[in-house]
Structure 1
Amino acid sequence: MKAIRRFSVRPVLPEPLRPLQELARNLRWSWHPETRDLLRSVDPDGWTSGGEDPVRLLGTVTAGRLAALAADRGFLRRLGVAVEDLRDYLTEPRWYQQTDARAGGELPRAIAYFSPEFGITPALPQYSGGLGILAGDHLKAASDLGAPLIGVGLLYRHGYFRQSLSPDGWQQEHYPVIDPHELPLTPLLEADGSRARVSLALPGGRTLTAQIWQVQVGRVPLLLLDSSVAENGPAERDVTDRLYGGGSEHRLLQEMLLGIGGMRAVRAFCRLTGHAEPEVFHMNEGHAGFLGPERVRELGELGIGFDAALRAVRAGTIFTTHTPVPAGIDRFAEDLVARHFGEGGELASLDLQALLGLGREPLGAAAPGGQPVREGEPAPFNMAVLGLRTAQRCNGVSTLHGHVSRGMFAGLWPGFDAEEAPIGSVTNGVHAPTWTADATRRLAEGSRSDTELWELRRSLREQLVHDVRARLRASWRQRGAGQAELGWVDEVFDPDVLTLGFARRVPSYKRLTLMLQDPDRLKALLLHPERPVQIVVAGKAHPADDGGKRLIQELVRFADDPAVRHRIVFLPDYGMGMARSLYAGCDVWLNNPLRPLEACGTSGMKAALNGCLNLSVRDGWWDEWFDPDFGWEIPTADGVAAAEPERRDAIEAAALYTLLEQQVAPCFYDRGVNGAGLPGRWLEMVRATLDRLAPRVLAERMLREYITGYYAPAAAAHRAMTAEAAGELAAFAERVTHEWPGVAVEHVEPGNEPPTLGGSVSLRVRVALGGLEPSAVEVQAVTGRVDGDDTLAEPGYVPLKATGGPDLAGRWTFEGELTLNRPGPFGYTVRVLPAHPLLAHRAELGLVAAAAPPG
């Protein structure tokens, strides 16, 4: 018999223990070891059985235990120290309050950070993979630096799915119900004590209402919107049921709630708490893209027209794209979007066609999310395109991904080379206090002899072995095995064997089964008599991705083979708790995506924090920071490319096997170098990883780059973009666009040639400007080396100056000199661009007029 309603009966804490609630409800405990140790000591068994969740722990601890702790003077002293430490952490000035590193101008008073998922702790299961974990690390780093972020997301009543395996190795999904009252959440309340709400208008007179929950992540408030409220009908109540669940309309409603409802939640939070209103709005992927149109609507209510409001909104908005994979970008049928934003829907005060135009994919462009749009075909509404068109500053998440993104979205800026697309990059980072094992952290704070380092690595590997056995046993029991059949599990893995880890989501491009290309060769590696390898694998396929599920099943069936099952395992239900164990205990982190489809790949960064070496394709972050002292690169067969994917996989798998056979395993097992029975070169690489690589991969480094390179300039632009300035810029853009067909480079008159190194070339250019004045444009000479096709490489830009007035035909003359500082083939061209002090990038308006090539 099942209960029809569930709730938690919480004990009342004795007065001396009340501060425990303060510690438990601020998620700083999840990355602060001393607080975590204190909470664990309340009830060690309850801590473990409750999933290391202090809110759940305090809800189940016995009255007798509470009475004993309330009388324990030693415990109360530790509690007092922990609470004072938290209060100091929340109030003392930190880097943000003290820094003079204001390269982009005055720092913003507040920043709103929107993400569809946040991975902060397993106790708050609101994440599916790297995007959410990155968002969680972003908030934690902001808290540690004192940056005034407000996080905004959705509260999913079923979270992401829990994974198990069927007897034949097929992924099974389970969606446990999440009770907000059992989570570290506090409802946002109105002044009268009622719960704060936001509402969205839906077609047919329906309304989508959501309540606002608040989570405290150190110094950072996180607002989560929850549609499971009595005011909603059944369909609306289920909008926030599952992360990335449902069909197109369900996803559209989720993204409307995140962007539009999230903006309204931020306004309510600031009104009710007195928090500073954000000046900067950061979209972590396109899922929150509707926050831009919502802000346009807000400004419209102040009497500002659509174009001017859009310019004002763009000034303070940042968009981060996380994927070069089309399946990772949400695209909706335009008629579906029109139905929800047309008459009777949301944002009805906005011009519908103007709004649809913000997300419409350009005709014929290299598709940013699918096949190119052809003439006469309906153009999808693309959430990444919406993000790019409503943000003045955009970035990818590694140097390589920035390059890939510029090519992927180049069609939004026709006439410009892909590398000029206004998309920069900030390489992701990871939050060291979250992902570094306590033992690694303690050793890093003291001396690190080779012996100590090797003993640490073996100890962490041994802990991983015990964790693997426990998880594997539980998995086999779920698959139907009896306890008597599982004695072999006690022999799985060996704490002295080289251990590889591979754990991530399971889309096809991450190539979970590349290691299975040659099963016999893999078996030989696993069972080598002197230099064996053991591999732990984990990952979830999207519930709708049967292809990904087949890859898992293929891997599981291989790992089920009695001949190798003690050397390779698949662990179901990959999440943050398992990840920490893998990152700490593995010797080598394996990553073999199809290059360049891994935007960043932060799991290898987290492993590196613990001295784990990387073995990876040169993709994402590893492309920019690879060093032979940190690990190995898997050669890629880029020339084979997509035309022969099977051959490419075979070539790259063979390269992986060769690396393991000839370099990785021999390095780990070579114990004769230093005479102490230790692998000298291996330990040199571990030390280099900890000392030189780990400082680069930190989320604090990432956030400082966002603050100085994106947040500060965006705040300055936001402040400069008054209603008057926005109107002026909108009028400028309209006028320039109207006049641009009359703009042309009509003649280029070069100076004396051939030039010599160190000399210069004088240019005299006649330009037609239509009805524009020279002050409205910049005339540039674009210079650089040229290849055999006369394509400019590594171009430089030299502004040319207007001389005199227009001639009788209305043409203007511009002059300048090109300095020749490099020998060899050299070339130049001339072009005209719009120029206005409030434009952040030369390609921002997508207008350019270039000199015609000869012939």
Structure 2
Amino acid sequence: MTATDTTTDFDGRIAYYTMEIAIDNALNTYSGGLGVLAGDTIRSMADMEVPAVCVTQLNEKGYCRQTLEEDGSQISEPDPWPVEKHCDRLDVETTVSVFGRDVTVTAWRYDVESTKSDGVVPIIFLDTNVDDNDDKARQFTQRLYAPGYGEDVTLAQELVLGIAGTRILDELGYDVDTYHMNEGHAAFLTTELLQGRGLSPEQVREKSAFTTHTPVEAGHDEFDWVMVTDALGPSFDVDALRAYSHDQGLNMSLLALHLSGYANSVAKKHQEVSQNMFPEFDIDAITNGVHVPYWIGDAFGDLYDDHISGWRENPYKFKHATVLPDEDLWEAHQAQKRETIEFINEREGADLDPETLTIGFARRAAAYKRADLLFYDTDRLREIAETVGDFQVIYAGTAFPGDENGEQKIRDVVANAKDLEGVVDVEYVQNYDMELGAKLTSGVDVWLNNPRRPLEACGTSGMKAAYNGIPQFGTLDGWWVEGHIEGETGWKIGPEPAESTPDQTSDEEETRQDAMALYDQLENEVVPTYYDDREQWIDVMRQTIAFNGPYYHTRRMVREYLMDAYTN
């Protein structure tokens, strides 16, 4: 990488803005699915030689290093990473007014280089930790989502991303045709185009696209108008922004929707939810995907090389997975499973058995994802293990620091694991990251995902598992509504999806029904098929690849953005 060619050799027609990105396990610049999707998107843009540039904040102190106490209580610490080792400092700076003072913003560059083409997509990391700034301003880009810093710092982070990020691109000479906001955090870029460049609202819409990932109203950032006025200062016409939000405050998703020529959700079901939430806007659906070569384990990579040539460049060829021989498919799976079990046992001092049916559950520890649903009735769970067949469960996931509901879910899993000791082995693996995610989605037997419907916008962990021949076992929400064929690509938990408006109230009856459905499927389908009908289990693995493989990849997803979002 060099910093000298940034202004001369690249026509950055698409600028992709994201608050977080998971691009390398050594760069702690992400918290979960939003960042992982961003990383996969940029990898595929590089593979496809899409003229793009990515803008994000540096997050030099990372997001959260998780350690768990004996009772499962989460200890959350900063997780710094060596910026100079991975990025090049750029000779560029700009200023943005934040709460009455000019904040200096500099930048670093990290190049995402394709291993399959000559494509390169630069990531521009924004940095306010410079001598010109006061102590608080230097914190703005240091810690992702500023846990414990206060809402004013969150607002400041979004001002830096949207406004300073756009000015930095201008300073670097990028000629941007489309500004793509990956969630509402970057929506202030529209105000920079409006008031900084003097574009009309229509001109801004022609240059802007917005992707929403949040099916819950409370998850859309909103700031009180008084705080917004104080943050932007007297030179900014805050009153002009009121037309793009509502009286309660500046809602970042509303701002983005009002000033984007194209908006999309991240799954077909999520489109219904988003349309109900924002009925005055047209919201399309582009279902998320994953960067296939990154998430496929070595044994499956070799298997596909032997039987499905060209799959890396053209994932549509996974339709030919129907030809995969039983023995080769099972041997590849067992090789990756043994590797994963060995990795977990060594890392956690566990004693998991590679011959036992292994269930994987790994995702951000949020209450609606219901990590503890499996333990609703531990007597029933114990009975299944003792009378039908052994199984073991591997959990991983970090709660947002200070999210008591999410942290309690981890404690609940750990407590139930102790209660079931000797009957069902349950291991909660600490400090979930990209490396652990890749191990789990390539090396368990079945992928469990049971969020409350319809609160899962998409979810991509099950897609990663599918490319490794691992069927999903889950509630019909997010992508699984589209990828599910009962008994062919996995097994559903609970009823078909119906209601499109999220219900934030506690629903004990829904939980009970889903838990009973989970146990019924585990007892009657999942466990007996694994142990008693290995031929059928392998056929489910094969169908999982053949049906879901051709579609749930970021090459297809980026192509849809090129056709629909970037051609306003």
TM-score (norm 1): 0.61
- Contact 1:637 1:648 (8 Å CA) reproduced: no
- Contact 2:95 2:164 (8 Å CA) reproduced: yes
- Contact 1:426 1:702 (8 Å CA) reproduced: yes
Q: CA deviation at 1:164?
A: 0.5
Q: 2:440 aligned with 1:617, yes or no? A: no
Q: 2:527 aligned with 1:665, yes or no? A: yes
Q: CA deviation at 1:446?
A: 1.2
Partner Cα separation in structure 2 for residue 566 and residue 667 of structure 1: 18
Partner Cα separation in structure 2 for residue 707 and residue 528 of structure 1: 53
Mapping of 1:368-383 within 5 angstroms?
379-383=248-252
State the secondary structure of the residue aligned to 1:188.
Answer: strand
Residue of structure 2 equivalent to 1:496: 355
Residue of structure 1 equivalent to 2:95: 199
- Of the candidates 371, 382, 385, which is equivalent to residue 254 of structure 2? 385
Residue of structure 2 equivalent to 1:522: 381
Q: 2:338 aligned with 1:443, yes or no? A: no
Q: CA deviation at 1:587?
A: 1.1
Residue of structure 1 equivalent to 2:366: 507
Pick closer, same or farther for the CA change 1:208–1:564 going to 2, 3 Å. Answer: farther
Residue of structure 2 equivalent to 1:701: 556
Partner Cα separation in structure 1 for residue 254 and residue 46 of structure 2: 30
- Of the candidates 221, 231, 235, which is equivalent to residue 136 of structure 2? 235
Q: Letter of the aligned partner of 1:456 in structure 2?
A: A
Residue of structure 1 equivalent to 2:430: 572
Q: Deviations over 1:96-132 (max 9, x none)?
A: xxxxxxxxxxxx9710000000011111110000000
Partner Cα separation in structure 2 for residue 250 and residue 200 of structure 1: 14
Mapping of 1:724-739 within 5 angstroms?
none
Residue of structure 2 equivalent to 1:710: 565
Deviant stretches of 4+, over 4 Å: 637-644
- Of the candidates 598, 605, 621, which is equivalent to residue 456 of structure 2? 598
Residue of structure 2 equivalent to 1:468: 344
Q: CA deviation at 1:691?
A: 2.3
- Of the candidates 340, 351, 356, which is equivalent to residue 242 of structure 2? 356
Pick closer, same or farther for the CA change 1:569–1:239 going to 2, 3 Å. Answer: same
Pick closer, same or farther for the CA change 1:638–1:687 going to 2, 3 Å. Answer: closer
Partner Cα separation in structure 1 for residue 423 and residue 435 of structure 2: 23
Question: How many residues are matched?
Answer: 534
Residue of structure 1 equivalent to 2:313: none
Q: CA deviation at 1:638?
A: 7.1
- Of the candidates 279, 297, 311, which is equivalent to residue 202 of structure 2? 311
Q: 2:392 aligned with 1:534, yes or no? A: yes
Partner Cα separation in structure 1 for residue 82 and residue 472 of structure 2: 39
Pick closer, same or farther for the CA change 1:623–1:530 going to 2, 3 Å. Answer: closer
- Contact 2:28 2:60 (8 Å CA) reproduced: no
Pick closer, same or farther for the CA change 1:553–1:562 going to 2, 3 Å. Answer: same
Partner Cα separation in structure 1 for residue 405 and residue 137 of structure 2: 31
- Of the candidates 503, 507, 511, which is equivalent to residue 645 of structure 1? 507
Q: CA deviation at 1:327?
A: 3.5
Q: Letter of the aligned partner of 1:212 in structure 2?
A: A
Q: CA deviation at 1:565?
A: 7.6
Residue of structure 2 equivalent to 1:394: 263
Mapping of 1:724-803 within 5 angstroms?
none
Partner Cα separation in structure 2 for residue 401 and residue 521 of structure 1: 33
Partner Cα separation in structure 1 for residue 252 and residue 498 of structure 2: 32
Partner Cα separation in structure 2 for residue 563 and residue 352 of structure 1: 59
Question: What are structure 1's unaligned runs of at least 5 residues?
Answer: 1-21, 27-90, 92-107, 190-195, 362-377, 414-420, 474-488, 672-678, 715-855
Residue of structure 1 equivalent to 2:192: 294
Q: Letter of the aligned partner of 2:509 in structure 1?
A: R
- Contact 1:428 1:702 (8 Å CA) reproduced: yes
- Of the candidates 102, 110, 134, which is equivalent to residue 215 of structure 1? 110
Pick closer, same or farther for the CA change 1:333–1:298 going to 2, 3 Å. Answer: closer
Pick closer, same or farther for the CA change 1:217–1:288 going to 2, 3 Å. Answer: same
Q: Deviations over 1:415-441 (max 9, x none)?
A: xxxxxx311010000000110112101
Residue of structure 2 equivalent to 1:133: 36
Q: CA deviation at 1:572?
A: 1.1
Partner Cα separation in structure 2 for residue 203 and residue 215 of structure 1: 30
Pick closer, same or farther for the CA change 1:637–1:647 going to 2, 3 Å. Answer: farther
Q: Letter of the aligned partner of 1:697 in structure 2?
A: Y
- Of the candidates 274, 283, 307, which is equivalent to residue 423 of structure 1? 283
Mapping of 1:63-78 within 5 angstroms?
none
Higher relative contact order (CA 8 A, sep 6+): 2
- Contact 1:338 1:352 (8 Å CA) reproduced: yes
Residue of structure 2 equivalent to 1:548: 406
Residue of structure 2 equivalent to 1:256: 159
Q: CA deviation at 1:462?
A: 1.2
Mapping of 1:53-72 within 5 angstroms?
none
Pick closer, same or farther for the CA change 1:459–1:529 going to 2, 3 Å. Answer: farther
Q: 2:522 aligned with 1:627, yes or no? A: no
State the secondary structure of the residue aligned to 1:690.
Answer: helix
Q: CA deviation at 1:533?
A: 1.2
State the secondary structure of the residue aligned to 1:620.
Answer: coil
Q: CA deviation at 1:328?
A: 2.2
Q: CA deviation at 1:555?
A: 0.6
Q: Deviations over 1:588-632 (max 9, x none)?
A: 111101111100011100111100001111111111221131111
Partner Cα separation in structure 1 for residue 99 and residue 522 of structure 2: 58
Mapping of 1:448-459 within 5 angstroms?
448-459=324-335
State the secondary structure of the residue aligned to 1:240.
Answer: coil
Residue of structure 1 equivalent to 2:177: 279
Partner Cα separation in structure 2 for residue 203 and residue 584 of structure 1: 47
Q: CA deviation at 1:202?
A: 2.8
Partner Cα separation in structure 1 for residue 197 and residue 111 of structure 2: 30
Q: Deviations over 1:390-439 (max 9, x none)?
A: 101000000111111010011xx2xxxxxxx3110100000001101121
Partner Cα separation in structure 2 for residue 231 and residue 430 of structure 1: 40
Residue of structure 1 equivalent to 2:80: 177
Q: CA deviation at 1:637?
A: 8.5
Residue of structure 1 equivalent to 2:51: 148
- Contact 2:388 2:528 (8 Å CA) reproduced: no
Q: CA deviation at 1:560?
A: 2.9
Q: Deviations over 1:281-310 (max 9, x none)?
A: 10000000000010112332xxx6xxxx11
- Contact 1:188 1:269 (8 Å CA) reproduced: no
- Contact 2:348 2:429 (8 Å CA) reproduced: yes
Residue of structure 2 equivalent to 1:48: none
Partner Cα separation in structure 2 for residue 332 and residue 644 of structure 1: 27
Q: 2:547 aligned with 1:692, yes or no? A: yes
- Of the candidates 228, 236, 241, which is equivalent to residue 337 of structure 1? 228
Pick closer, same or farther for the CA change 1:524–1:269 going to 2, 3 Å. Answer: farther
Question: What are structure 2's unaligned runs of at least 5 residues?
Answer: 4-8, 114-119, 308-323
Q: CA deviation at 1:311?
A: 1.1
Partner Cα separation in structure 2 for residue 179 and residue 445 of structure 1: 36
State the secondary structure of the residue aligned to 1:685.
Answer: helix
Q: CA deviation at 1:563?
A: 2.5
Q: CA deviation at 1:512?
A: 1.0
Pick closer, same or farther for the CA change 1:422–1:461 going to 2, 3 Å. Answer: same
Pick closer, same or farther for the CA change 1:222–1:422 going to 2, 3 Å. Answer: same
Residue of structure 2 equivalent to 1:322: 213
Partner Cα separation in structure 2 for residue 117 and residue 539 of structure 1: 17
Q: Percent identity?
A: 37
Partner Cα separation in structure 2 for residue 326 and residue 655 of structure 1: 29
Partner Cα separation in structure 1 for residue 170 and residue 401 of structure 2: 35
Q: Deviations over 1:709-729 (max 9, x none)?
A: 111x22xxxxxxxxxxxxxxx
State the secondary structure of the residue aligned to 1:428.
Answer: coil
